[in-house]
Amino acid sequence: MKNKLKKYGKIGILLGIKESYLFLRNVLGLKTHPFKTLRGMQREKDRSQQVLVLGLPVYVLVGGVLMVWLGRRWLGTSVEWGIEAKILGLIVLMITGMIGGYLGYWVVRVWGVRYE
């Protein structure tokens, strides 16, 4: 039993390193050559990377809201959101929308191209 846990632990760590590397490569590739990156992901049919990269706006939204909430708890403010928290929430929503729009634009462009 102990050997199996150790074996699965090693496999899990190696898989995590591989997926993290591919995720960072794809996110950086979206900045420099988004069409090529998304087309490569579509050709490889790597669903885990597609979910990770296309879920980027959700990660930014959840992380931003979590940071605003933690900041409010850390400062000990009331339950009601003040103007600063509302502005930060709006900024998080705008950044999420921009990232989502950027990804959506390039996904539509990739889907519009016919493959050989």
Residue 116 is given by DSSP the state -
Does residue 18 register a pLDDT over 70?
Answer: yes
pLDDT tens digits, one per residue of 34-75:
887 878 787 878 787 778 888 888 988 998 888 888 887 787
For residue 23, give both structure tokens.
């995720």
What's the gap between Cα 112 and its chain centre?
23
Stretch 4-16: mean pLDDT, rounded? Answer: 86
Domain boundaries, the chain: 2-111
Stretch 1-22: mean pLDDT, rounded? Answer: 85
Q: Write phi, then psi, for 63 (nearest 5 degrees).
A: -65, -40
Q: CA–CA separation, 34 vs 69, rounded Å?
A: 33
pLDDT for the residue numbered 79 = 67
- Of 3-7, 23-27, 92-96, give the range with the top mean pLDDT: 92-96
Contact 73, 116 (CB under 8 A): no
With a CB cutoff of 8 Å and minimum separation 6, the contacts of 26 are 37, 41, 49, 52, 53
Does residue 116 register a pLDDT over 50?
Answer: no
Please report, as a single letter, which amino acid is at residue 24: L
Stretch 100-110: mean pLDDT, rounded? Answer: 86
Please report, as a single letter, which amino acid is at residue 90: L
